[in-house]
Amino acid sequence: MLKGIPKILSPELLKVLCEMGHGDRIVIADGNFPSESVGKDARVIRMDGHGACEVLEAVLALFPLDTYVEKPVNLMEVMPGDKVETPIWAEYGKLVKAADARGPEAIGHIERFAFYEEAREAYAIVATGEGALYANVMLQKGVV
């Protein structure tokens, strides 16, 4: 056991967060995200029993967001024509605000298929059991 480490963070995820360097990206994916196929060339960490907010909060407790880019946090945009509510985005905004002085201004949006393409280049994908739609979030690591 270690002091000060959120209990939800597994040794595998802690190792990945530590290995990542400045500019590397990690995806916290909802339960519908094709983590295994998109992440076939990345590390996929299964956290099926956990929601995206609790994982995001724990990661942000240790993970510096990139200050050299305008939007180090990116969400998957809702597809045109989808009548989907995204209340989880407000929760993400609160979590980012608690971790970064830019708050919600640090959050951008990426079109769905572009998000998949960028996720293919991510260092790791965390596959959660999150049931909210469009709850995928990509973080870009900064420096300490």
Q: Is the pLDDT of residue 46 over 80?
A: yes
Q: What is the sign of the dihedral through the CA atoms of 71, 76, 79 and 84?
A: negative
Say whether 68 is catalytic.
Answer: no
**pLDDT at 76 (0 to 100):** 98
Tell me, yes or no, whether 84 lies in a domain. Answer: yes
Contact (CB, 8 A) for 25 and 122:
yes
Average pLDDT, stretch 65-74?
Answer: 98
Q: Structural domain tally of the chain?
A: 1
For residue 5, is it within any domain? no
Domain-located, residue 132: yes
Domain membership of residue 136 (yes or no) is yes
Residue 116 annotated as catalytic: yes
User: Residue 15: inside a domain, yes or no?
Assistant: no
The catalytic residue among 24, 50, 109, 116 is 116
Q: Is 80 exceeded by the pLDDT of residue 1?
A: no
The answer to whether residue 50 sits within a structural domain is yes
**Global confidence as pTM:** 0.96
Q: Predicted confidence band at 29 (pLDDT cuts at 50, 70, 90)? A: very high
Average pLDDT rounded to a whole number, residues 8-13: 97
The mean of the pLDDT values for the chain is 97
CATH number of the domain to which 111 belongs = 3.40.1650.10
Q: What is the pLDDT of residues 73-122, one digit of tens each?
A: 999 999 999 999 999 999 999 999 999 999 999 999 999 999 999 999 99
**15: pLDDT confidence band, cut at 50, 70 and 90?**
very high
Has residue 3 been placed in a domain? no
**66 labelled catalytic:** yes
The reply to whether 53 falls in a domain is yes
Which of the following is catalytic: 30, 66, 123, 134?
Answer: 66
Residue 2: band (very low, low, confident or very high) from pLDDT cuts 50, 70, 90: confident
pLDDT digits (tens, 9 = 90+) for 71-87: 999 999 999 999 999 99
Q: Which domain does 94 fall in, by range? A: 22-140
Q: H or E element: which one contains 129?
A: none
